[in-house]
Structure 1
């Protein structure tokens, strides 16, 4: 297995777990917060989508995925406290956008030369992710950073244990 294959595998695994946790939640349940001080799930999903688009386009400006009008603003940190469900998307809309964005991300990974993984990341990300390879690893693991917040919502809704 080569580096890009390992990154792709991690992305696919993370995506499978995250989507698995969300798969049987309805749109109303996406508006639940695991704790009053946490963001609701809909905001978190949108945050993941916006973050991935921003990271990929930061590395490869010609690979920016276009998001629906107002999507980025709805999922900006300034709107994390908003509980108006009409400002957010349905689970299926989020899943469609996740697929679109991840397809673009995987295409960028596939199309680049392997040596690019060692290139410096965009300057604003270097303290956290020094290289392009680090950026792709962050993209792949970022959903798992949020998956732990989905589990308490699942439990409070009486959903089964999945993993």
Structure 2
């Protein structure tokens, strides 16, 4: 059973996650929902979206959704922050920041543990719902840290527009 590519993805995911979390430490509650203009994103949506997409990439697309997933990825959270959702800057229309962070961390821990148990040879199967960027389960898994790194760029841009340092 080969785990080379999965282990590499886990290493990359952990590095990207450390970088992203560094950009979150000095944000005030208001800054989590600050947006540079109507219809644009905010940090809370970015983090919620990353939790929803990590679940989708590493669990839902690979093994399918399971009833127990509701314990850590409720349908309402997935609908609000998943692919195709629209950021709402009103804090009362969002999950509280602490809850978003709990889901973000819990999903990540569960996804990394699940990925470590996957067999690469079994992951070459095509996805039931292909994506424009990847076609197999293994490719979906490998895309996760790339996707998260792309969103770091959006968080950094939001920070700059808030007048905060782009580095931590």
Asked whether the equivalents of residues 48 and 81 of structure 2 are also in contact (C-alpha less than 8 Å), the reply is yes
Deviation at residue 5 of structure 1 after TM alignment: 1.5
Is 1:12 aligned to 2:18, yes or no? no
The count of aligned residue pairs is 162
Residue among 65, 70, 78 paired with 2:69: 65
Partner of 1:86: 92
Gaps of 5+ in 2: none
Is 1:109 aligned to 2:112, yes or no? no
Deviation at residue 34 of structure 1 after TM alignment: 4.8
Deviation at residue 41 of structure 1 after TM alignment: 1.9
Q: Distance in 1 between matches of 2:32 and 2:64?
A: 31
Asked whether the equivalents of residues 31 and 42 of structure 1 are also in contact (C-alpha less than 8 Å), the reply is yes
Residue among 145, 150, 158 paired with 1:153: 158
**Cα RMSD between the aligned structures?**
2.6
Higher mean alpha-carbon deviation, 152-161 vs 80-89, is at: 152-161
The correspondence of residues 128-147 of structure 1 with structure 2, limited to 5 A, is 128-147=133-152
Asked whether the equivalents of residues 65 and 104 of structure 1 are also in contact (C-alpha less than 8 Å), the reply is no
Q: Distance in 1 between matches of 2:165 and 2:153?
A: 15
Q: 1:111 to 1:26 in 2, by over 3 A?
A: same
Q: What TM-score comes out, normalization by structure 1 length? A: 0.82
Q: Distance in 2 between matches of 1:5 and 1:77?
A: 26
Q: What TM-score comes out, normalization by structure 2 length? A: 0.80
Deviation at residue 59 of structure 1 after TM alignment: 1.1
